[in-house]
């Protein structure tokens, strides 16, 4: 028997750039408040944050009154960590920008309202955030030019519209007085 040789070209294997598989779960490093400097690790792929009793990460309900009972949720979608605001009254900010839903990266700063607690998020329970020298230091806003924390600039919304009608009313009254004065002067 004569061996048969395969004459079909071999499939060329392309090198792949495999992404490292992220461990499941979420880690949260508290930056402000009573829990500043502490780390919470959650093994599940879904974490609800708020001041209510039925949340995974509960902030102090007496100190953080600006935080909603169910403020936001963090969900793993594949290798991504997705943050979604749950209709909170004071909003959710990622790195100083107000968001309703966003993909967050390791180390992003999440703020629960403008004056509420702040924390950094990391994918995985084994995520090890950068460690300092063990001493508590005030949080420095990496987005600020001066290095001090600055509140995010909020867009002008309804309050400006409510104040604008006063200006229109005063302008109309002054215009009426001016017309009356001119007409009275020419009589």
Closest to 20 in 3D by CA, of 148, 165, 137, 126: 126
Largest CA distance in the chain: 128
Closest to 60 in 3D by CA, of 102, 84, 23, 32: 32
Tell me which residues of the chain have a pLDDT lower than 50: 10-16, 18-19, 133-141, 143-149, 154, 156-157, 160
Q: What per-residue confidence (pLDDT) applies to 127?
A: 61
Which H/E stretch holds residue 79?
none
Q: What per-residue confidence (pLDDT) applies to 173?
A: 93
Q: What per-residue confidence (pLDDT) applies to 68?
A: 94
| Distances, alpha carbon 170 to alpha carbons 61, 128, 163, in Å | 44, 60, 12
C-alpha–C-alpha distance, residues 73 and 86, integer Å: 7
Neighbours of 178 (CB within 10 A): 10
Q: What per-residue confidence (pLDDT) applies to 65?
A: 86
Using only C-alpha atoms, what is the Rg of the chain?
A: 28
C-alpha–C-alpha distance, residues 85 and 92, integer Å: 6
Q: What per-residue confidence (pLDDT) applies to 14?
A: 46
Task: Give me the residues paired with residue 109 across strands.
Answer: 120
Q: What per-residue confidence (pLDDT) applies to 11?
A: 46
C-alpha–C-alpha distance, residues 118 and 109, integer Å: 7
Neighbours of 116 (CB within 10 A): 24
């Amino acid at each position: 028997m004569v061996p048969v040789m395969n004459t079909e070209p071999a499939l060329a294997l392309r090198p792949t750039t495999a992404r490292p598989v992220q461990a499941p779960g979420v880690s949260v490093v508290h930056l402000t408040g009573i829990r500043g400097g502490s780390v919470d690790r959650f093994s599940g792929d879904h974490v609800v944050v708020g001041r209510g009793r039925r949340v995974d990460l509960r902030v102090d309900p007496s100190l953080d009154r600006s935080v909603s009972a169910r403020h936001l949720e963090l969900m793993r979608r594949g290798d991504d960590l997705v943050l979604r605001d749950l209709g909170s009254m004071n909003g959710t900010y990622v790195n100083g920008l107000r968001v309703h839903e966003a993909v967050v990266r390791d180390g992003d700063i999440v703020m629960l309202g403008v004056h509420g607690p702040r924390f950094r998020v990391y994918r995985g329970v084994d995520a090890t955030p950068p460690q300092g020298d063990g001493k508590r230091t005030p949080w420095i806003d990496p987005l600020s030019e001066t290095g001090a924390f600055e509140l995010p600039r909020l867009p002008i919304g309804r309050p400006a519209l409510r104040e604008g009608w006063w200006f229109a009313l005063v302008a109309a009254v002054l215009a009426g007085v001016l017309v009356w004065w001119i007409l009275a002067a020419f009589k």
